[in-house]
């Protein structure tokens, strides 16, 4: 659990760095566009790719902090054991879904890499961003497995 915690924290720090760089890029682009009439070439393209890093590198840390939204209007009326059972079922379903996304993103990244697909303006290779997506989802899977084990433990313990 400590390794998962440390890795997800490092990925979140990387996501925070990407966010800072993206903010700096956007502010610079707006400033240069407005005052000097010289926008940064490819700023939109860079921002799009940075969004992938920002979104997926922070997923696991958010899950560890239990920061994702959880709608539990009905569930709160049940016993803690029933809540743990329902949480186990939803965790299992989420784990399957996120695992599929990670797997398919990795495979798609390999295809994109083999086809040498690049961005239109800056000619940035697209495959690293597929791998970032896959890495973020894989890390989220590890966090979800730990939550699933905890929920199953609560359900059995009662």
* pLDDT over 70, % of the chain: 99
pLDDT value for 158: 65
pTM (two decimals): 0.90
153 Cα distance to chain centroid:
26
pLDDT digits (tens, 9 = 90+) for 130-150: 999 999 999 999 999 999 998
Total structural domains within the chain: 1
pLDDT digits (tens, 9 = 90+) for 52-94: 999 999 999 999 998 887 777 888 888 888 988 988 999 999 9
Q: How confident is the model at residue 101 (pLDDT cuts 50, 70, 90)?
A: very high
* Tokens (6 digits) for 155: 């359900």
pLDDT value for 72: 77
Domain of 75? 2-157
């Amino acid at each position: 659990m400590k390794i998962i915690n440390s890795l997800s924290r490092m990925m979140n720090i990387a996501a925070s760095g990407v966010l800072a760089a993206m903010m700096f890029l956007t502010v610079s682009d707006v400033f240069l566009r407005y005052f000097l009439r010289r926008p940064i070439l490819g700023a939109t393209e860079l921002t799009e790719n940075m969004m992938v890093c920002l979104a997926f590198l922070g997923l696991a840390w958010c899950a560890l902090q239990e920061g994702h939204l959880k709608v539990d209007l009905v569930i709160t009326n049940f016993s803690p054991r029933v809540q743990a059972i329902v949480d186990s079922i939803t965790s299992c379903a989420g784990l399957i879904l996120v695992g599929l996304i990670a797997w398919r993103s990795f495979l798609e990244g390999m295809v994109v890499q083999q086809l040498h697909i690049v961005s239109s303006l800056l000619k940035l290779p697209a495959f690293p961003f597929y791998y970032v997506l896959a890495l973020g989802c894989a890390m989220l899977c590890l966090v979800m497995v730990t939550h699933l084990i905890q929920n199953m433990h609560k359900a059995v313990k009662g």
